[in-house]
Structure 1
């Protein structure tokens, strides 16, 4: 088992108010770590700190054996979907994935249609994103986070706006990523997702992180069955 992410004594204040206080967390290959917490508890700040969008006041972040400052390696091996992932509104879903792949200097894009299929969208749908429903928009954000076949995935409330079918696809996608050895860290307010579809659960309260006892009944892919890789 390989350590994908290591946070050591991370602290962050905004206007002298503590947002993260002495947060430490280690994530290994195949982990699905669910982060719960009330609104304003620091969940999104923690994710942005892991991604390098927010600079901590103290502590150390190591991603895939590289300090956070090694941005090129970090960006190449990490995917994320935050509250607004930013797909271009005048392009289709597939075109957005292709543009993302180009930005990442990828030459092989043959897997992109399958990514759309995994989240319940289709490559043949030429509808522009500006005409998407909120659920379709969220599905595209999840697909965009996986364009580069990342080793670490960061999702902020990935269940937002998803219908029942979308939630099932999200659960199956989590299982697939874990089976492939991808590490997934997500925030959520969905009790079912946190109870049954993560391998570890932590809770943020007033900026402090607490690991919760958790027994999901075995790895999630045992419930969903094997999936082919893209």
Structure 2
């Protein structure tokens, strides 16, 4: 594959915060129709790499190119992307549906039936009146996934997408992500769970001390399987 065929190209990227170098000469190539797994201990640089790809942080060295556009030069923020990084800032007194509706109308879009279908896709009842502030962690995670996919993006950047989900929820979201892969989406996810990586990922990379390397699942520093 020619380099111009890759959707995301991270080329020799480094990033420091004062004297702490958190990304060290990181390079990564990602194409559509694949799921890429990123693993590593907390503080290894995964979230900083995700934020750099999304345009939330600038690189000190190197470049990040998305669909032929250099981040920070040709475009400031990642577009056509669904993103979960850290805890989304939902309005806690509103229902899940009304949170999505508000975000959707910011793009001058309005389609109640479609938003209801998105909520059902992630296992939430669109008629539920409960405010988000009273959602369980798993329900909030499902809502975050609904927000990430509601505009049918070509790219998904997901930091611990299974966080807080029970065994059935994990299975449902894995099935959803695999279906989106079949729809030629590019998905990059971080997970601490070996089974997520084994089931979902076409390629796996490990980060350690800001350095990235391609990895084999059998040698990964990740946890075991989900239990009922």
TM over 0.5: yes
> Could you give the per-residue CA deviations for residues 121-151 of structure 1, whole angstroms, max 9, x where no partner exists?
0111121101101110111011101121111
For residue 30 of structure 1, report the CA deviation from its aligned partner: 1.1
> Could you give the per-residue CA deviations for residues 110-130 of structure 1, whole angstroms, max 9, x where no partner exists?
421121112110111121101
1:177 equivalent in structure 2: 180
How many pairs were matched up? 214
**TM-score, L = length of structure 1:** 0.87
Distance in 1 separating the partners of 2:110 and 2:132:
24
**TM-score, L = length of structure 2:** 0.88
Distance in 1 separating the partners of 2:75 and 2:114:
25
Distance in 1 separating the partners of 2:28 and 2:112:
34
1:164 equivalent in structure 2: 167
For residue 168 of structure 1, report the CA deviation from its aligned partner: 0.5
1:56 equivalent in structure 2: 59
* 1:20-39 equivalence runs, <5 A: 20-39=23-42
> Could you give the per-residue CA deviations for residues 154-212 of structure 1, whole angstroms, max 9, x where no partner exists?
11111111001110011101111101111011110011001121111100011011012
Among candidates 200, 205, 226, match of residue 202 of structure 1: 205
For residue 97 of structure 1, report the CA deviation from its aligned partner: 1.2
- Runs (5+) with no aligned partner, structure 2: 219-228
For residue 74 of structure 1, report the CA deviation from its aligned partner: 3.1
Among candidates 145, 148, 151, match of residue 151 of structure 2: 148
- Runs (5+) with no aligned partner, structure 1: 216-230
2:78 equivalent in structure 1: 74
